[in-house]
Amino acid sequence: MNRIQAATELSNLAEQRALEKAGFTREGVLRGIGFRAGQWQDGVLYSILRADLN
């Protein structure tokens, strides 16, 4: 496996901190990716590559 990715809602700051602490890199904002509570929500995409672990 070369890549693992994770996504979370833009408002979920605790999960973003946890991903960054685990070594994931923030790649960008996914606009209008999820629908919750009657509104479209933005998300954030993170990834970690095998090369990042060396």
Summarised one tens digit per residue, pLDDT across range 28-44 is 999 999 999 999 999 99
Structural contact between residues 26 and 46, judged by C-beta atoms closer than 8 angstroms: yes
Spatial neighbors of 43 by CB under 8 A, at least 6 apart, are: 7, 8, 9, 10, 29, 30, 33, 34
Summarised one tens digit per residue, pLDDT across range 1-36 is 999 999 999 999 999 999 999 999 999 999 999 999
pLDDT at 24: 98
Spatial neighbors of 36 by CB under 8 A, at least 6 apart, are: 9
pLDDT at 54: 83
User: How much is the pTM?
Assistant: 0.89
The alpha-carbon radius of gyration of the chain (Å, integer) is 12
